[in-house]
Amino acid sequence: MLSYIIPFLILILVVVFIHEYGHYYFARKYGVGVTDFSIGFGKELFGWNDKSGTRWKICAIPLGGYVKFFGDRNVYSQADHQEILEKYNEEEREKLFILKPLYQRVLIVFGGPLANFLLALVIFFSIYTFVGKDFTPAVINEVQKDSPAMVGGLKAEDIILEIDGNEVKSIMEVSKFITMSTGEFIDFKVKRSYEELILKVKPNIVEGDDGLGNKINKRMVGIKLGAYNNKVNHVKLGPAQALYHAGYEVYFVSISSLKYIGGMIVGKADTSQLGGPIRIAKISGQVATFGVLAFISMMAYISISLGLINLFPIPMLDGGHLMFYAFEKVLGRPLSQKTQEGFFRIGLFLLLSLMFFTTFNDLKDLGLFK
């Protein structure tokens, strides 16, 4: 159990701290008072006050965190100002979040997800610079008999150039692109002799494991891959190249995640793979056994997911507050307090529903439900 809990706590502490520090950085930049910087919820385990009066603390439930602003009741978008303003003198009003210009409030709220994307960017950049990136072309060594690949027209010795429009720069990317596909057919662009072909392959969905012993539904096409000319091309990149490929990885994971979520909404993607804290804890513990590199890579992907989810236009998330600011920009005034409270109730219902669904999947994954 400790082998799961410790890696999970490290992962959550880092990813959540970076997210909340994004909010904190822009808040301090624009003179907003910060009373609390909390990692976790519930009872405070330990903490300290800094010279600016912020209470930095670690709390008992390590499933998130928050930054609380001076004079704020944990609502970024406060419509009814007058009651609050009467409580503060002119000097204190300078520290109030609700009185800052709209663009500053937007940057403070957006700062959290932005920090998550930057963390992933730094991790990928560091890996590509100091460890290297694989650029070994993917060649099909074998096409299994009567497999989807054979039916679709793939042949041995084909060099895979693209999958669903994504350029295959490495043999390592083939499995990733197939797994992230959501359509009924997967488009393969291959080089055969001197011509390029686009072939459609309808994958089989089979129950397998993810290499860590966890049961998942896999999209299988029935090919075995090898290195082009049996040569592995793994190189350390210079700063410019590393930054480009790191940026592309953050972009690809974000877009693929959005497509996958869209697929789940319309019923085309597998919702059984959607997990919550229990599954993250389990997988982070398993990944940690493969070493630091695998663990920090997972941290980058979790960080992207956290940043992306927080941008969803659901009240109670950063994206919900940004949605309110969009209304404020269009209308020229904030939405009424009553309207915002109505949105927050909807947001609470959606978040609780998502938590219930992911927890059910987690418990099912542990074998407690069939």
Structure tokens at 23: 């909010």
Q: Of the residues 20, 44, 91, 184, which is catalytic?
A: 20
Lookup result for tokens 């994307």: 117
Structure tokens at 279: 């599954």
CA 43, CA 40: separation in Å to the nearest integer?
Answer: 9
Check: CB of residue 264 under 8 Å from CB of residue 274.
yes
91 is a catalytic site residue: no
φ/ψ (deg, to 5) at 311: -90, -5
Check: CB of residue 316 under 8 Å from CB of residue 347.
yes
12 Cβ neighbours under 8 A, 6+ residues apart: 62, 63
CA 180 remoteness from chain centre: 14
Alpha-carbon distances, residue 260 vs 147, 164, 170, 187, 256 (angstroms): 25, 14, 22, 17, 6
- Count of other CB atoms within 10 angstroms of residue 58: 15
Structure tokens at 59: 């709390």
CA 39, CA 56: separation in Å to the nearest integer?
Answer: 8
Structure tokens at 138: 């993917």
- Provide the H-helix boundaries in 199-317: 239-265, 277-288, 292-310
Alpha-carbon distances, residue 211 vs 109, 170, 203, 283, 290 (angstroms): 38, 20, 19, 11, 11
- Count of other CB atoms within 10 angstroms of residue 53: 11
Q: 3-state DSSP call for residue 215?
A: strand
291: left (phi over 0), alpha (psi -120 to 50) or beta: left
Residues belonging to the active site: 20
